Structure 1
């Protein structure tokens, strides 16, 4: 009987384990990356924007991973798609950098240089944090 209870407990905890904290990012050190889109990794649990940038503050030029704070499904509800950005697009991205010093950060907002389009992530339309849903 115990193995069955253990299996049930593990299965019910799986969704909680799939999501992680953003405490690894430092909001007190917000920074801006000017670069070129390598790819938009449209995968769960969080979409990743890969940006090739020149020197950024103390960081040498290189590839940055920018984690968006939500899933592809929720981004789709906010108007994003797999084609919102494309490889080669010039972009300016505001991030909270990761605390361990790697070229990584949490997405705050971005501007597509060619069009001036501002990209943001906000409440999921119709979700519990959507002011219009109340």
Structure 2
């Protein structure tokens, strides 16, 4: 029994942290309105409505880091509130789905989080 549990952990752990589903060679800029901020373990999630080229709203899911690391960087469970306008830089999914891996953000008050300045040219 213990062997099965250990084997299961060994098989699932690398898959979780690999993040190979994201194209880290590409960056998308998502400007829109926060729908929800989920301060959860093992990773936080930002749901943001973004207008596409056709003018339709598309809800994107943006995966962030672990809450304790973000807390040490100054983030709080209230960092993003529904209705907040933000611009997020993120690595998109390889399959084109509306999901991405967080790189940085610029809030409506002009403050930034993560590595936003590195990619913005501001």
What is the TM-score normalised by the length of structure 2? 0.80
3-state SS in 2 of match to 1:20: helix
1:104 matched to which residue of 2?
99
Structure 1 residues 8 and 38, CA, compared in 2 at 3 Å: closer, same or farther?
Answer: closer
3-state SS in 1 of match to 2:75: coil
Q: How many residues align?
A: 115
1:120 matched to which residue of 2?
114
Moved over 2 A (4+): 7-20, 58-61
1:126 matched to which residue of 2?
none
Distance (Å, rounded) in 2 between the aligned partners of 1:12 and 1:97: 27
- 1:29 has 2:26 as partner: yes
Gaps (5+ residues) in structure 2? Answer: 116-122
- 1:65 has 2:61 as partner: yes
1:49 matched to which residue of 2?
46
1:88 matched to which residue of 2?
83
What is the TM-score normalised by the length of structure 1? 0.74
Structure 1 residues 14 and 82, CA, compared in 2 at 3 Å: closer, same or farther?
Answer: farther
Larger Rg: 1
Structure 1 residues 64 and 12, CA, compared in 2 at 3 Å: closer, same or farther?
Answer: closer
Shift of 1:24: 1.0
Distance (Å, rounded) in 1 between the aligned partners of 2:15 and 2:70: 17
**Over aligned residue pairs, what C-alpha RMSD do you find?**
2.5
3-state SS in 1 of match to 2:102: strand
Higher strand share: 2
